[in-house]
């Protein structure tokens, strides 16, 4: 074992092992968290391996909800090209696993990714036995990579993204990252900037290619009758009428909710029928966000308190405290704020509301979606806001001039649709690795 690799494992084991017992005690009364910990430690139920069946195996390793969407698009493209291949999808979060099971259903075996320790990674690899391990976006885990390569697995980074924030961390441990990157066969990156950053960490230039962003390939919500179904569902659930102005703030972080609420309170002075649907990035923060709402003197309900049959919305603010409903909620929005962007978190997925043809606003921190931001902004489909004042001004302009808002939303949608197809190029990288490995 390389000295760097040995040191990495020494530190990981020294930090990780003492934490197992307290983590186990913490989640002993929470079955979902207990199962998550079990799987991350490498204790997997036998049904996962049984689901894979026979044929070439591709393990797509994601993180959470956003990367699961990428995995879904690439899995579709890959099975269209190679129907006999079998797909496994791993995530690290409960929300991600729920999305993987909901979106891929029986098309893939879905499970929690192992902690990057020798024991758990070995057990996961022994269970899946992948011919190709595909790491989505920035999931560069040395033990998983090195162990997979020693088993004869071909390895690729797909939809590769190295943000301005993460490159600094990687450069601090460049020797270890270069060791891991040496074991990777192909780097299929989103943009030239991402390619340059992975090269600066130590990737082999001959293995690095730019193939675009598979997040542009999410299912088109306006195809078929999806729009009517989603908008009818959301309008009924949230008790909306044609006279309501709907502001959806998605995937917000602290303290963005306070800024959004300040803008909303100002907006209601001119548009008293305005409705805010507020979706915190982590639903465990809903009690804290409820306090913010009530401090503004606004009535608030959680989505789980709404019942379309017996009781409906009775105030201007709804907290979306469920997983998997934000995308359909965008169908009734007049405009959208994308969270994680007024704080230095790199932004959240602005592609989802854009493809619904909704005008979008976001803060200055959009490093994780820089290509999408440039594309949408240059098309006139979105704008940057820096505080509650700018947010109020942009929202009021769209509500005063609904034709301008519709044009901005359509421009955002056209910009997204014109850049679809990356998932097929990323899938092509996997197909080539499968072919060259003789399966």
Q: How far is CA 313 from the centre of its chain?
A: 29
Whether 183 has a pLDDT exceeding 60, the answer reads yes
- pTM for the complete prediction? 0.89
Query: Residue 409: which of 331, 316, 292 has the closest Cα?
Result: 331
**67-87: b or e for each residue (b if 16 or more CB lie within 10 Å)?**
bbbbbbbbbbbbbeebeebbb
pLDDT at residue 281 in the model: 93
- Name the DSSP class of 311: B
**What is the average per-residue pLDDT within 152-166?**
93
Q: How far is CA 354 from CA 32, 252, 326, in A?
A: 33, 17, 13
pLDDT at residue 308 in the model: 57
Q: How far is CA 348 from CA 248, 269, 353, 366, in A?
A: 14, 29, 11, 7
- For residue range 99-129, what is the model confidence (pLDDT) as tens digits? 999 999 999 999 999 999 999 999 999 999 9
Q: What is the Cβ-side half-sphere exposure of residue 397, based on CA atoms within 13 angstroms?
A: 14
Query: Residue 369: which of 382, 387, 380 has the closest Cα?
Result: 382
Locate tokens 């309170």: which residue? 265
Residue 220's pLDDT band (cuts 50, 70, 90): very high
pLDDT at residue 432 in the model: 96
Cis peptide before 258 (omega within 30 of 0): no
Distance CA 79, CA 431 (A): 10
Query: Residue 181: which of 145, 150, 148 has the closest Cα?
Result: 145
Q: Where are the beta strands (DSSP E) in 63-163?
A: 86-91, 108-112, 132-136, 154-160
Query: Residue 180: which of 137, 148, 136, 132 has the closest Cα?
Result: 148
First to last CA, the chain: 29
Q: Is 336 helix (H, G, I), strand (E, B) or coil?
A: strand
**Alpha helix positions (H), 334-421:** 351-355, 370-379, 388-400, 402-417
pLDDT at residue 309 in the model: 55
pLDDT at residue 324 in the model: 84
Q: Calculate ∠ Cα 351-72-108, nearest 5°.
A: 160
Distance CA 431, CA 439 (A): 10
Q: Is 54 helix (H, G, I), strand (E, B) or coil?
A: coil
Q: Is 182 helix (H, G, I), strand (E, B) or coil?
A: coil
* pLDDT, averaged across the chain: 94
- For residue range 313-326, what is the model confidence (pLDDT) as tens digits? 989 999 999 988 99
**Alpha helix positions (H), 271-369:** 286-295, 326-329, 351-355
Lowest mean pLDDT, pick from 16-30, 137-151, 162-176, 403-417: 16-30
pLDDT at residue 288 in the model: 96
Answer whether 92's CB lies under 8 Å from 99's CB.
no
CB atoms near residue 439 (< 10 Å): 15
- For residue range 255-309, what is the model confidence (pLDDT) as tens digits? 999 999 999 999 999 999 999 999 999 999 999 999 999 999 999 999 999 975 5
Burial of 339 (0-12, 13-18, 19+ CB in 10 A): buried
pLDDT at residue 1 in the model: 67
**Sheet (strand 335-338) strand order:** 300-302, 317-319, 274-280, 245-252, 335-338, 360-362, 382-384
Answer whether 192's CB lies under 8 Å from 396's CB.
no
What the chain holds in terms of domains, given with CATH numbers, is: 28-213+421-436 (3.40.50.11720), 226-417 (3.40.50.2000)
Distance CA 349, CA 419 (A): 16
pLDDT at residue 12 in the model: 86
- For residue range 364-392, what is the model confidence (pLDDT) as tens digits? 999 888 889 999 999 999 999 999 999 99
Q: Is 20 helix (H, G, I), strand (E, B) or coil?
A: helix
pLDDT at residue 261 in the model: 98
Answer whether 132's CB lies under 8 Å from 433's CB.
yes
Residue 50's pLDDT band (cuts 50, 70, 90): confident
Q: Is 157 helix (H, G, I), strand (E, B) or coil?
A: strand
Radius of gyration of the chain (CA): 22
pLDDT at residue 427 in the model: 98
Distance CA 37, CA 113 (A): 10
Q: How far is CA 71 from CA 116, 214, 367, in A?
A: 20, 9, 21
**Dihedral sign for Cα atoms in the order 409, 396, 293, 341:** positive
């Amino acid at each position: 074992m390389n000295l760097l690799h040995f040191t990495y494992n020494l530190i990981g084991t020294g930090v990780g092992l003492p934490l197992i017992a307290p983590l186990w005690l913490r989640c002993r009364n929470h079955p979902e968290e207990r199962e998550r910990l079990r799987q991350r430690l490498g204790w997997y139920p036998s049904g996962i391996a049984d689901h894979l069946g026979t044929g070439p195996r591709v393990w797509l390793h994601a993180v959470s909800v956003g990367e699961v969407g990428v995995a879904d698009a690439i899995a579709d493209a890959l099975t269209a090209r190679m129907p006999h291949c079998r797909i496994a999808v791993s995530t690290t979060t409960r929300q991600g696993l729920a999305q993987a099971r909901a979106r891929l259903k029986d098309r893939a075996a879905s499970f929690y990714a192992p902690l990057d320790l020798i024991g758990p990674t070995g057990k996961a690899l022994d269970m899946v036995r992948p011919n190709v391990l595909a790491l989505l976006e920035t999931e560069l885990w040395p033990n998983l990579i090195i162990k997979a390569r020693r088993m004869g697995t071909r390895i690729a980074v797909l939809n590769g993204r190295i943000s301005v924030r993460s490159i600094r961390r990687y450069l601090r441990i460049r020797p270890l990252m270069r060791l891991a990157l040496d074991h990777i066969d192909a780097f299929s990156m989103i943009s030239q900037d991402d390619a340059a950053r992975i090269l600066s960490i130590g990737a082999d230039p001959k293995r690095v290619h730019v193939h675009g962003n598979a997040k542009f390939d999410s299912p088109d919500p306006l195809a078929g009758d999806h729009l009517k179904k989603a908008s009818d569902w959301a309008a009924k659930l949230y008790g909306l009428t044609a006279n309501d102005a709907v502001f959806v703030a998605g995937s917000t972080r602290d303290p963005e909710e306070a800024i959004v609420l300040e803008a909303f309170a100002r907006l209601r002075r001119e548009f008293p029928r305005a409705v805010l649907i507020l979706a915190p990035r982590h639903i465990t923060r809903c009690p804290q966000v409820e306090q913010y709402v009530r401090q503004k003197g606004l009535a608030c309900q959680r989505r789980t308190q709404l019942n379309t049959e017996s009781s409906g919305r009775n105030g201007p603010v709804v907290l979306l405290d469920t997983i998997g409903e934000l995308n359909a909620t965008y169908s009734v929005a007049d405009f959208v704020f994308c969270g994680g962007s007024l704080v230095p978190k790199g932004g959240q997925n602005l592609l989802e509301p854009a493809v619904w043809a909704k005008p979008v606003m976001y803060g200055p921190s959009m490093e994780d979606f820089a290509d999408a931001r440039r594309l949408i902004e240059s098309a006139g489909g979105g704008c940057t806001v820096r505080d509650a004042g700018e947010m109020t001004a942009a929202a009021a302009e769209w509500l005063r001039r609904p034709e301008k808002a519709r044009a901005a939303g359509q421009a955002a949608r056209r910009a997204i649709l014109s850049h679809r197809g990356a998932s097929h190029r990323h899938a092509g990288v996997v197909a080539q690795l499968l072919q060259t490995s003789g399966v």
